[in-house]
Amino acid sequence: MEPKQSELLDVEAIRKDFPILQREFDGTQLVYLDNAATSQTPDQVIDTIADYYRETNANVHRGLHQLSQEASIAYENAHDRVAEFIGAEGREEVVFTKNATESMNTVAYAWGLAELGPGDEIVMTEMEHHAALVTWQQIAKKTGAEVKYIPVDEEGYLDMDAARELITDDTEMVSVVHVSNTLGTINPVSELADIAHDHDSLIFVDGAQSVPHMPVDVQDIDADFFAFSGHKMLGPTGIGVLYGKEHLLEEMQPYLYGGMMISKVTFEDSTWHELPWKFEAGTPVISQGIALAEACDYLDDIGMENVEHHGERLAEYAYDQLSEFEGIQILGPPGDDRAALVSFNLGSVHAHDTSEILNDFAVAVRAGDHCTQPLHDKLGIAASARASFYIYNTKAEVDKLVEALEETEALFA
């Protein structure tokens, strides 16, 4: 039976906005299934960047000449647009960074180094991305705090009973990935936020894989901090977002110092600019921020609920098709309960071999540990291959993945 195609998205029209999808390698058209690593960029976003440099480019000194004023207003408004996209109160709560990783480091350094010490605990999950895992691990080493991990069960879900035991009054920070970039698990982050808050702990949610793919409201989640990257949601590289509750950002000292982030400077001392600029030292990510706002517009035009449904349907279809392969190992929850990605190992074929052969068929997937090395260690595997989907992918492309995998299987039989 034909699985339901997404009636919600006009994929054919969407694909027209993404010129890169027309690329061919030796006559075979690209099948881009590496969206969890980086999404492609629509003309609208590319044009925004080009127009910015053609028409508006200036430094954002808030100021004195016309171009600078225009650039400043566009850059500031981009913060408002992103705030709206994730349900933040306003631009005060939205700091632009280089990527999700820098957003995490900002909190780890600005808040963690100041607040953590021996006896304090940081609770993460075994499915945490290195961006959070390595960062908190190292901050713990610097401060004498201890790191604990909420286990992942057989099916790829968090053990919530264990979470309730691990999060205690000693916990100062709970740092959890919203959607696992390896397992595709969608974690109950608002439940975790409640548990954290019951123990007067803060919660940092890594939304790198959720914001691009589903409606997210940081206030509904009740996240204290929240991070994501522009390049996974149709935006350019070089832009990430740190959301923080205003009172927390207000209390924190800056992590980077320099121009733009100051209010008054003397030879002896300095005071800080208002939020969010206090955390944006130096010339900021101007064109990237403005382009990210455009990406938010593009996604909202489609509707984040539609984006979510489309991704889930493709993931479920892929999960079902891949399950047909003998000896395949699929990581994470069942097909009808996962985000828009499927990680797998085809029998004993190494993931790098799989992806290299898929590349011969112009099918782009990621292979490796996906920056979740400890999770792979726990699963007893060195690597996995991962197909990840977005708004422009089709069932026909999943079929091409499956055909290429059949060839791989035959080659290694």
Partner 1 sequence: MGIGGSDMYRQQILDHYKNPRNYGEIEDATFTHVGENPMCGDTIEMDVVLDDDEQTIQQVAFRGDGCAISQASASMLSEQLHGMPIEELQEMDRDDIIDMLGVDISAMRVKCAVLAEKVAQDGAEIYFGEKNVDKTTTEEE
Known catalytic residue: 296? no
**Quick one: which of 102, 103, 196 has its CA closest to 94?**
103
Instruction: Name which position in 83, 176, 208, 357 contacts ligand PLP (CB under 6 A).
Output: 208
Q: Give Cα 160 to chain centroid, integer Å.
A: 23
Instruction: Name which position in 7, 12, 13, 27 contacts partner 1 (CB under 8 A).
Output: 27
Rounded to an integer, what distance in angstroms lies between the CA atom of residue 11 and that of residue 2? 17
Q: Which residues contact 283 (CB under 8 A, 6 or more apart)?
A: 59, 60, 259, 260
Answer with the entry of partner 1, ligand PLP, none that 206 interacts with (C-beta below 5 to 8 A by kind).
ligand PLP
Q: Give Cα 344 to chain centroid, integer Å.
A: 20
DSSP state for residue 133 in the 8-state scheme: H
- Closest approach of ligand PLP to the CB of residue 391, in Å: 18
Answer with the entry of ligand PLP, partner 1, none that 352 interacts with (C-beta below 5 to 8 A by kind).
partner 1
Instruction: Name which position in 350, 374, 378, 402 contacts partner 1 (CB under 8 A).
Output: 350
- Closest approach of ligand PLP to the CB of residue 235, in Å: 11
* Residue 29 region by backbone torsions, left for phi larger than 0, else alpha for psi between -120 and 50, else beta: beta
User: How many residues does the structure list for the chain?
Assistant: 413
Does residue 347 belong to the site contacting partner 1 (CB under 8 A)? no
Q: From residue 324, how far is each of 202, 254, 402, 405, 407 by CA, in Å?
A: 43, 52, 10, 11, 14
Helix (H) or strand (E) holding 113: helix 113-115
Instruction: Name which position in 22, 28, 66, 168 contacts partner 1 (CB under 8 A).
Output: 28
Rounded to an integer, what distance in angstroms lies between the CA atom of residue 183 and that of residue 272? 41
Nearer CB in complex with ligand PLP: 91/231: 231
Q: Which two tokens stand for residue 113?
A: 């180094």
Nearer CB in complex with partner 1: 77/373: 373
Virtual torsion, Cα 225, 231, 233, 234, nearest 10 deg:
150
Contact window for ligand PLP (CB under 6 A) among 15-23, 97-105, 158-166, 215-223:
97-105
* 8 A C-beta contact, residue 352 and residue 346: no
Residue the block writes with tokens 């264990």: 162
* 8 A C-beta contact, residue 347 and residue 412: yes
- Closest approach of partner 1 to the CB of residue 353, in Å: 5
DSSP state for residue 413 in the 8-state scheme: -
Q: Which of 86, 239, 331, 371 is catalytic?
A: 371
* 8 A C-beta contact, residue 184 and residue 342: yes
Give residues 128-147 in contact with ligand PLP (rule: CB under 6 A).
Answer: 129, 131
- Closest approach of partner 1 to the CB of residue 352, in Å: 5
Does residue 397 belong to the site contacting ligand PLP (CB under 6 A)? no
Residue the block writes with tokens 């999808």: 21
Nearer CB in complex with partner 1: 58/381: 381
Does residue 406 belong to the site contacting partner 1 (CB under 8 A)? no
Q: 97-119: buried (b, 16+ CB within 10 Å) or exposed (e) per residue? A: bbbbbbbbbbbbbbbbeeebeee
Instruction: Name which position in 39, 171, 209, 393 contacts ligand PLP (CB under 6 A).
Output: 209
DSSP state for residue 144 in the 8-state scheme: T
Does residue 338 belong to the site contacting ligand PLP (CB under 6 A)? no
Does residue 362 belong to the site contacting partner 1 (CB under 8 A)? yes
Answer with the entry of ligand PLP, partner 1, none that 350 interacts with (C-beta below 5 to 8 A by kind).
partner 1
Does residue 176 belong to the site contacting ligand PLP (CB under 6 A)? no
Instruction: Name which position in 34, 206, 294, 397 contacts ligand PLP (CB under 6 A).
Output: 206
DSSP state for residue 110 in the 8-state scheme: I
Pairing of strands 121-125, 146-150: parallel
Does residue 181 belong to the site contacting ligand PLP (CB under 6 A)? yes
What binding mask, one character per residue, do residues 3-42 give for ligand PLP by CB under 6 A, x or -? ---------------------------------x------
Give residues 363-402 in contact with partner 1 (rule: CB under 8 A).
Answer: 368, 382-383
Give residues 267-296 in contact with ligand PLP (rule: CB under 6 A).
Answer: none
The contact set with ligand PLP (CB under 6 A) reads: 36, 99-101, 129, 131, 177, 181, 206, 208-209, 229, 240, 371
Catalytic residues: 371
- Residues interacting with partner 1, by CB under 8 A? 25-28, 349-350, 352-353, 356-357, 359-362, 368, 382-383, 404, 407, 411-412
